[in-house]
A = this chain, B = another copy of it.
Amino acid sequence: MSDAGVVRRAVVLLSGGLDSATALAEARQAGFECHALSFDYGQRHRHELDAARRVAESLSAARHVVVPLDLRAIGGSALTADIDVPKHRSAAEMGDGIPATYVPARNSVFLAVALGWAETLGAFDLFIGVNAIDFSGYPDCRPEFIAAFETLAQLATQAGVEGRGTFRIHTPLISLTKAEIIRRGNELGVDFGLTHSCYDPGPEGRPCGACDSCLLRARGFAEAGLADPALARG
C-alpha cells in the first residue's frame, strides 16, 4: 500500500524456484499487493507448483492462481516432451547456445496471461524473475525481449489503449548473478528451503543435482557462501 492508502497491485509470475521467489519478495518490498501466478503447463517438474504455493503463502501473496495450460500439445522442449533433460553440463557448455529445456515462447505466453490478469485487477505492474547473467541462454530472459513485451502490453489492452496507466514489466533480478540473487533473497526474508529448482526431480521432488538448474543453484549458494536449506531438508 502506498502512503495515500491506495492499494497498488502487481501480478508476479511465480514458478516455485528461487528467482521468482526473490522477485515476489521484491514486489512485496516495493509495497505492492501481490497476485501470484503459476502455470500447470505439463512440466515434468510439476513438483515446483507445490513450492510455488508454499512460497506464495510464506511471502503473504494476496492471492495465488495456478492456470492450467497444457503446452505438451505443442511439444518442443525437454520440459514438456519426451526429450532428455541435459545433465552434468559445465559452465562453458551452459554458455553455448540454447538448451533442450527451452520451452518455445514460454515467457511470452506467461506474460500475456499475466497481462490479462493485471487488466482485470486494475494493475499495471508485472514482476518476472528473469535473469540474463546466470541463466541458461533462453532468448525470452533478455532485456530486449522484456522491452518489446512492455510495448506490446500497452497496445494489447483496453487499459493501455484508453491511457489509464502505463504497463511496466519489472525484472529486479535481470542483471544479478545467482549468488547476488540468493543474498538479496536472504535480506528480504525468502525461505529458500521452500523453493524448488530441479528440472528432473526424483520421487517426492528430490532434486537430481545434475541438470542446469540444480548446477546453477548449487554454484550460486557456494558463491554466496551459504548452505542451501532445501538440501539440508532433503
| Bound complex: CA A112 to CA B113 (Å) | 10
A76 CB-CB contact with B under 8 Å: yes
B65 and A67 within 8 A (CB):
no
Say which size band chain A's interface belongs to.
35 or more
CB-contacts of A92-116 with B (<8 A):
98, 102-109, 111-113, 115-116
List the number of copies, as a whole number: 2
Q: Which of A140-148, A183-191, A217-225 contacts B (4 or more CB under 8 A)?
A: A140-148
| Cβ–Cβ < 8 Å partners of A102 in chain B | 158
Q: Which residue in B75, B98, B117 is a CB contact (below 8 Å) of A74?
A: B117
* Beta-carbon contact of B105 and A109 below 8 Å: no
Residues of B within 8 A of A75 (CB): 120
Asked if A160 CB lies within 8 Å of chain B CBs, one says yes
Within 8 A of B (CB), among A33-74: 65-71, 73-74
Consensus secondary structure, chain A interface: helix
- Bitwise interface map of A from 159 to 184 toward B, beta carbon under 8 Å scored 1, else 0: 01110000000000000000000000
Contact indicator A109/B104 (Cβ below 8 Å): no
Given contacts A71-B113, A76-B119, 15 further A-B contacts (CB under 8 A): A65-B74, A66-B73, A67-B74, A98-B158, A103-B116, A105-B116, A105-B157, A107-B156, A111-B112, A139-B158, A144-B155, A148-B151, A148-B152, A151-B151, A152-B152
